[in-house]
Amino acid sequence: MTRYSRQTRILVAVDCIIFGFDGQELKLLLVKRHIEPEKGNWSLMGGFVEPGESFECAATRVLKKLTGLENVYMEQLSAFGDPERDPIERTVSVAYFSLIDINKYIQQISHEYDAEWFPIKKLPEVIFDHSNMIEMAKEKLRYKAAFHPILFELLPEKFTLPQLQSLYEGIYDAALDKRNFSRKILSTTLLVKQKDKEKETSKRGAFYYKLDRKKYANKFNAFLNFIPNPQKLK
């Protein structure tokens, strides 16, 4: 097979930044690295791209290996190629971020990799440049949440307003006034109130809602009314 002459071969890997929401907190899924260097330390789930495999296929394979999940929201974030990012060999990593409802899939997380969910505000130290990947993914998530209904990938089909508020507070790292949040979000007319209530967290219970996805597609900018400082999003 013909090859480009005098060119150095570079390894290519994928890393998956997996966000989840358990109804109360926004979390990130990390694993303990099983090989050197940094063996035993916390890491994003990743792996090398195999011959004949696209980046997206590699990320999908890695995600399924850890979570058993397919057809979940996944988006390419960026490529990370600092020459010194991996002390063993020159490795370029293509990062992807995914969004899942923790309660829906918690039983499918593989324990083979010592996987653990961490609150986004209490993350442990991670290997290599994974902290940079995580910060970039958080910024991208904030931006995307302002213009697309991707946050609802983190929620069950029906959810309460307190759950939705907790999710937005976790994404934007900002405390939102309960009455103001409820008033503004209901004024969008994009949520459909259900007849049943969630009663596990309080005696009175909170009504469930569903997102009207057809209305959202035509009126997505209505959600910008209650997002903290949308003009500063990048």
Write the pLDDT tens digit of every residue in 14-38.
999 999 999 899 999 999 999 999 9
Structural tokens at position 197: 């209530």
Q: Tell me the CATH number at 73.
A: 3.90.79.10
**pTM of the predicted model as reported, rounded to 2 decimal places:** 0.87
Q: What is the domain range of residue 112?
A: 11-147
DSSP label at residue 232: G
Same domain, 163 and 143: no
Q: Return the residue matching tokens 């500063």.
A: 232
In a domain, 114, yes or no: yes
**Best mean pLDDT range from 86-100, 105-119, 148-162:** 86-100
Residue ranges of E strands in 102-170: 116-119, 159-160
In a domain, 2, yes or no: no
How many domains are there within the chain? 2
Same domain, 107 and 70: yes
DSSP label at residue 103: H
Rounded-to-integer distance, Cα 100 and Cα 72, Å:
7
CA 7, distance to chain mean position in Å, is: 36
Query: Around Cβ 135, how many Cβ atoms within 10 Å?
Result: 11
Rounded-to-integer distance, Cα 200 and Cα 197, Å:
9
Same domain, 56 and 107: yes
Predicted local distance difference test score (pLDDT) of residue 96: 97
